[in-house]
């Protein structure tokens, strides 16, 4: 399969702290990848760099053959890399639907003058955005919250809303930062199914950070394991599961693996 994302020796240093050191990875189109590791291992920092929120201290990121290392986050998003946040960053005063419309409007084509004059092309596209947004809410199984304020949704629904929001922005690569955090076992099993389905529907590539080993092992095809800023192991779920370094650094301590 064609390579979609290539990361070479990415490092992020915060003053003295080496949050990420020499992170290299290669994601093929249509794959689902896992990124796991202990608390503070540097997983979120990797996603921050891939989405342009943080500029790496060293290393390069190539997406679909383009160097995006120094690109602004909004341009990276327009290329199709979209992410969620571990600590949820919804537009809290807006309704669920409006949140998803922000995603849906990323590629809008009417001009501001069309909008001021309320031309037909503006109306048609606005209706289309609403339709897409509702569809994404339905896909995530949260359409009943469409007109409620984002911060009044149950926690699990807020997590799903973040995914609906980026799906509406026509992504190619999804970066999901602990999408099942705070969900009960039933909810996270549901989420696994939804993520599988959206990958098929949209032909997406997915990189996900997850603490819940059931989710990671059941869903991903290839896993990167980080500890203190570095990759300590990578491979298919079964290989990683047996890796001695991983067991001592992560699985052994957590004992969450089934």
Ligand X SMILES: Nc1ncnc2c1ncn2[C@@H]1O[C@H](COP(=O)(O)OP(=O)(O)OP(=O)(O)O)[C@@H](O)[C@H]1O
Report what 156 binds from ligand X, Mg ion, another protein, none; CB cut-off 5-8 Å by kind.
none
Task: Pick between residue 37 and residue 156 the one whose CB is nearest to ligand X.
Answer: 37
H-run or E-run covering 14: strand 3-14
Query: Is residue 43 a contact point for ligand X (CB under 6 A)?
Result: yes
Task: Pick between residue 136 and residue 166 the one whose CB is nearest to another protein.
Answer: 166
**Dist. CA 148–CA 138, nearest whole Å:** 15
At 72, is the secondary structure helix, strand, or coil?
coil
Report what 169 binds from ligand X, Mg ion, another protein, none; CB cut-off 5-8 Å by kind.
another protein
- Binds another protein by CB under 8 A, chosen from 53, 146, 189, 194: 53
**Dist. CA 180–CA 124, nearest whole Å:** 36
| 81 contacts 69 by C-beta, under 8 angstroms | no
Specify the residue for token string 């980080």: 226
Task: Pick between residue 44 and residue 122 the one whose CB is nearest to ligand X.
Answer: 44
**Dist. CA 142–CA 161, nearest whole Å:** 7
Shortest reach from residue 188's CB to Mg ion, in Å: 17
H-run or E-run covering 166: helix 155-167
Task: Pick between residue 42 and residue 171 the one whose CB is nearest to ligand X.
Answer: 42
The candidate with the shortest Cα–Cα distance to 83, out of 155, 18, 148, 5, is: 5
**Dist. CA 192–CA 43, nearest whole Å:** 20
Q: Which residues bind Mg ion (CB under 5 A)?
A: 44, 86
Report what 57 binds from another protein, Mg ion, ligand X, none; CB cut-off 5-8 Å by kind.
none
Which positions touch another protein (CB under 8 A)? 51-53, 72-74, 76-78, 82-83, 85, 89-94, 98, 101-103, 105-108, 110, 112, 115-118, 122, 126, 129, 165-166, 169
Which positions touch ligand X (CB under 6 A)? 14, 17, 19, 37, 39-45, 86
């Amino acid at each position: 399969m064609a390579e979609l994302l290539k990361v070479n020796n990415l490092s992020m240093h915060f003053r003295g702290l080496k949050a990420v050191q020499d992170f290299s990875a290669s994601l093929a189109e249509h794959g689902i990848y896992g990124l796991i590791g202990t608390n503070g291992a540097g997983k979120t920092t990797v996603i921050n760099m891939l989405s342009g929120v943080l500029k790496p201290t060293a290393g390069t990121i190539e997406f679909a053959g383009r160097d995006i290392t120094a690109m602004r986050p909004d341009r990276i998003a327009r290329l199709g890399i979209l992410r969620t946040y571990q600590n949820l960053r919804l537009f809290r005063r807006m309704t669920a639907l409006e949140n998803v419309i922000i995603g849906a409007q990323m590629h809008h084509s009417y001009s501001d003058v069309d909008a001021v004059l309320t031309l037909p092309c503006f109306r048609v596209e606005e209706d289309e955005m609403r339709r897409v947004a509702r569809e994404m809410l339905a896909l995530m199984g949260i359409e009943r919250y469409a007109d409620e304020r984002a911060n009044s949704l149950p926690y699990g629904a807020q997590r799903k809303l973040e995914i609906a929001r980026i799906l509406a922005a026509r992504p190619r690569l999804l970066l999901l930062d602990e999408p099942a955090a705070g969900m009960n076992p039933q909810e996270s099993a549901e989420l696994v199914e939804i993520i599988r389905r959206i990958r098929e529907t949209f032909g997406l590539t997915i990189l996900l950070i997850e603490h819940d080993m059931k989710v990671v092992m059941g869903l991903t095809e290839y896993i990167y394991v980080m500890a203190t800023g570095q990759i300590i192991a990578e491979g298919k779920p079964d290989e990683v599961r047996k890796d001695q370094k991983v067991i001592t650094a992560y699985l052994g301590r957590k004992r969450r693996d089934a």
